[in-house]
Structure 1
Amino acid sequence: MTDDTPRLPDHTVSLNDGGRVPLLGFGTWQIKGPDAVRATATALETGYRHLDTATVYGNEREVGRALAESGVRRDDVFVTTKCPPNRAGRELDTLRESLELLQTDHVDLWLIHWPGDGSANTDMWHAFVEAREAGLARAIGVSNFDMSLIDDITKATGAAPAVNQIEWSPLLFNAETLADHRACNIALEGYSALRGGTLEHPAILRIAERIGRSPAQVIIRWHLQHNVIVIPKSVHADRIRSNADVAGFSLTDEDMATLDALGSR
């Protein structure tokens, strides 16, 4: 009899506010209703300790329910949610609504979901700093921002984002982007890692076949070895477990270089 229990990585990355975040998280974009409860519950049962949701996903209630019913201590789970820029001027009310839906008194990370127009980013960032100071969000960050926008809000408030969540995969790899975030001590978090043709790319398939792993596991492992946060999502229990089973192998330097090179093609 073989043991098919997933071997989850325990990798974390330090944030610039002194906290730490698990590099492997569970994403919930486009997962709604009962599916969101079941998928999140499966992720927690599997061992994920990082959940990612957002106001616009419309599933914070379901994610919160799954966490509350899981038996896992709240303090053992890193919870992220996001505020859209059309809530500018109502940021704290939006966060309090999220907290109520999530059944918690704080989130571990709160992100501006995408850039707004004009002064919206700076105005929102002031409110985010206020939320952190009030203990409603332990860390604050942004999503879909470029470095110039990050510089703007940092200079305006004196507070740099802890995280920038952007679309990221081997096909989108950019060494300069990664280096810029590290130079500013901002953790890079990738989303949509398993989309955009990555699972069918010949180079990824060759590596996966050689080491006896799935293409998704190769891509997730690539993120971990770059110290980039990754939040794969699925509603299928077997895939949720498989995506977490990435602690029992590593990619060679040659594998990493091959995958990195896909971003320049």
Structure 2
Amino acid sequence: MPRIETPHLAMPKLSLGTWALSGADCARAVAEAIGLGYRHIDTAEMYGNEEAVGEGLRDSAVPREHLFVTTKVWWENLAAPDRALEASLKRLGLDYVDLFLIHWPNPAVPLKRTLAMMEVLKERGLYRAIGVANFTPRLLAEALATGAPIAANQVEYHVMLGQDPLLALCRAHGVVLTAHSPLGKGGLVDHPVLAAIGAKHGASGAQVALAWLLEQDMVAAIPKSARVENMRANLAALSLRLDEADRAAIAALPKDRRFVNPAFAPDWRH
């Protein structure tokens, strides 16, 4: 599994996302993914599946030190990230996570205070790296200005949603951009442009969408899947090589399609 290495972390390029997975199905998917070669599992307290993820991690029988686990504190709990992480670790059955993220920004809670509290948790050995999720360029710059060692920003990013300003900022500061919803919540898998590119390479449109992300510097992706055949297909995207014509066709697609935009989301324009 290729990894992105920075001074703050060494993170696999491809992860198993677990949003909307639950119970025995979630535990099975996590264990099967690890059996196939995945080493990064992404969850969050809001997903309500940390216990199942922890069960899957244990069922995999892969030593903890060979796994990379991400969880997130919900935006309504940013005043007490210590309690949130302690509860997450208890549910996961882990002593630490590799990456601990602010799930969404909350303008009512001072960001500097939250990050300062999170940094103390590292001194206690409860996580290896911290970061944010769903932060715009302005908000990421604000987080970086606090002096906190921001390692990653997890945002929606795919062939029909551009993130050029954010990517430039991330690369300038050694921050990994982790693409959530890399297949547009499934809305991109049958796109005719992607399907045509895939046919040329003996691949699927979904694999093309993932390959486009995975070939980019400082970009990781976390597609969700509960099916082994899809997990295998996503892994195969790591070896798919696009050519300049493919990239030009993808560049010509609209870049303003957003699939995740809750009422509490920040102003994406800034």
TM-score, length of structure 1 as denominator length: 0.90
Report the residue type matching 1:174 in the other structure: Q
Corresponding residue to 1:229 among 196, 206, 220: 220
Q: Distance in 2 between matches of 1:183 and 1:248?
A: 27
Deviates more, 1:204-213 or 1:246-255: 246-255
Q: Distance in 2 between matches of 1:257 and 1:12?
A: 26
| 1:100 aligned counterpart, secondary structure | helix
Report deviation, 1:25. Answer: 0.3
State how 1:235-250 maps to structure 2 within 5 Å. Answer: 235-250=226-241
Contact kept, 8 Å, 2:16 with 2:223, in 1: the verdict is yes
Give the 3 Å change call, closer, same or farther, for CA 249–128 of structure 1 in structure 2: same
Q: Is 1:170 aligned to residue 126 of structure 2?
A: no
Report deviation, 1:108. Answer: 0.3
Corresponding residue to 1:93 among 41, 58, 83: 83
Q: Distance in 1 between matches of 2:223 and 2:180?
A: 7
Report deviation, 1:163. Answer: 0.2
TM-score, length of structure 2 as denominator length: 0.89
Report the residue type matching 2:249 in the other structure: T
Report the residue type matching 2:151 in the other structure: A
Match of residue 172 from structure 2: 183
Give the 3 Å change call, closer, same or farther, for CA 261–134 of structure 1 in structure 2: farther
Report the residue type matching 2:167 in the other structure: L
Contact kept, 8 Å, 1:51 with 1:80, in 2: the verdict is yes
Give the 3 Å change call, closer, same or farther, for CA 179–255 of structure 1 in structure 2: same
Q: Distance in 1 between matches of 2:244 and 2:125?
A: 41
Contact kept, 8 Å, 1:16 with 1:186, in 2: the verdict is no
Match of residue 2 from structure 2: 11
State how 1:56-135 maps to structure 2 within 5 Å. Answer: 56-135=46-125
Report deviation, 1:212. Answer: 0.7
State how 1:8-47 maps to structure 2 within 5 Å. Answer: 10-17=1-8, 19-47=9-37
Kindly report structure 1 stretches of 4+ aligned residues shifted beyond 6 Å: none
Contact kept, 8 Å, 2:159 with 2:255, in 1: the verdict is no
Corresponding residue to 2:246 among 240, 245, 255: 255
Structure 2: runs of 5+ lacking an equivalent: 257-270
Report deviation, 1:135. Answer: 1.8
Q: Distance in 1 between matches of 2:23 and 2:100?
A: 22
| 2:150 aligned counterpart, secondary structure | coil
Contact kept, 8 Å, 2:214 with 2:238, in 1: the verdict is no
- In the TM superposition, what whole-angstrom CA distance separates every residue of 1:19-57 from its partner, at most 9, and x where no partner exists? 210010000001111111111111111110000000000
Match of residue 49 from structure 1: 39
Report deviation, 1:65. Answer: 0.7
Report deviation, 1:264. Answer: 4.1
Contact kept, 8 Å, 1:173 with 1:262, in 2: the verdict is no
Corresponding residue to 2:203 among 196, 213, 217: 213
Answer 1 or 2: higher relative contact order, Cα 8 Å, separation at least 6: 1
- In the TM superposition, what whole-angstrom CA distance separates every residue of 1:196-230 from its partner, at most 9, and x where no partner exists? 63212221111011111011111111111013110
Contact kept, 8 Å, 2:70 with 2:100, in 1: the verdict is yes
Number of positions where the alignment pairs a residue of Structure 1 with one of Structure 2: 254
Report deviation, 1:137. Answer: 0.9
Match of residue 262 from structure 2: none
Structure 1: runs of 5+ lacking an equivalent: 1-9
Contact kept, 8 Å, 2:183 with 2:206, in 1: the verdict is yes
Q: CA RMSD in A?
A: 1.6
Contact kept, 8 Å, 1:168 with 1:193, in 2: the verdict is yes
Q: Distance in 2 between matches of 1:102 and 1:206?
A: 41
Corresponding residue to 2:131 among 141, 152, 155: 141
